[in-house]
Structure 1
Amino acid sequence: MTTLSDLFWQAPLNDMKQGYIYQPENDEYVCLICGERFVNGLIYENGEQLYEAKKYVTIHITQAHQSMFHFLLNLDKKMTGLTDHQKSILELFYAGASDQDAAKTLNTGSASTIRNHRFSLRERQKQAKVFLAVMELLGEHTPKKQTFVAIPASAKQVDERFAITEQENAKILATHFKQGLNGPLDSYPLKEKKRVAIIRHLATLFAVNKTYNEKEVNAILKPIYEDYVLLRRHLIDYGFMDRTLDGSSYWVKV
Structure 2
Amino acid sequence: MEIDFFWNASLEELKRGYIQEKNSYTCLLCGEKIEKGIVYSYDNTLYEAERYMRIHIESTHQSVFDYLTGMDKKLTGLTDHQNQLLQLFYQGKSDKEVQQEMGIGSTSTIRHHRFALKEKERQAKVFLTMMELLKEKDEYAPAFIAPHKSAKMVDERYAITKEEQGKIINKFFTEGPNRSLKKFPPKEKQRLIVLREIAAQIESGRIYDEKELNQILNTIYGDHVMIRRYLVEYGFLGRKQDGSQYWLKK
| TM-score (normalised: structure 2) | 0.54
Letter in 1 for 2:41: E
- What corresponds to 2:100 in structure 1? 104
Give 1:109 shift: 2.8
Find the aligned partners of 1:81 and 1:9 in 2 and give their Cα distance: 15
- Give the AA of the match of 2:86: L
1:16 pairs, out of 11, 14, 17, with 14
Residues 51-200 of structure 1: pairs in structure 2 closer than 5 A: 51-141=47-137
Q: RMSD of the TM alignment (CA)?
A: 1.7
Instruction: Measure, in 1, the Cα distance between the counterparts of 2:88 and 2:140.
Output: 49
Matched to 1:15, the amino acid is: E
| Deviation per residue, 1:9-52 (Å, 9 max, x gap) | 1111110111000011xx10000111110011101100110000
C-alpha separation in 2, matches of 1:132 and 1:109: 33
| Structure 2, gaps ≥5 residues long | 142-250
Q: Distance in 2 between matches of 1:35 and 1:46?
A: 19
Letter aligned with residue 50 of structure 2: K
Kindly indicate whether the alpha-carbon contact (under 8 Å) linking 2:69 and 2:76 is maintained by their aligned counterparts in 1: yes
* Secondary structure class of the residue paired with 1:35: coil
Distance in 1 between residues matched to 2:113 and 2:2, nearest whole Å:
29
CA distance in 2 between counterparts of 1:132 and 1:116 reads 24
Q: Distance in 1 between matches of 2:11 and 2:55?
A: 20
Q: Percent of aligned positions with the same letter in both sequences?
A: 49
Q: Which amino acid aligns with 2:62?
A: Q
Deviation per residue, 1:132-165 (Å, 9 max, x gap): 00000011225599xxxxxxxxxxxxxxxxxxxx
CA distance in structure 2 between the aligned counterparts of 1:53 and 1:80, rounded to whole angstroms: 30
Which contiguous aligned blocks of 4+ residues in structure 1 show a shift greater than 4 angstroms?
Answer: 142-145
Higher relative contact order (CA 8 A, sep 6+): 2
| 1:45 equivalent in alignment to 2:41 | yes
Quickly say closer, same or farther: Cα 1:95–1:143, change in 2 above 3 A: same
Count of residues in correspondence between the two structures:
141
Contact 2:2/2:31 (<8 A) preserved: no
2: distance between equivalents of 1:35 and 1:139? 27
Which residue is 1:246 aligned to?
none
Counterpart Cα distance in 2 of 1:144 and 1:69: 35
Aligned-partner residue type, residue 82 of structure 1? L
Q: 1:109 to 1:45 in 2, by over 3 A?
A: same
CA distance in 1, matches of 2:138, 2:109: 46
Considering only CA atoms, is the larger Rg found in Structure 1 or Structure 2? 1
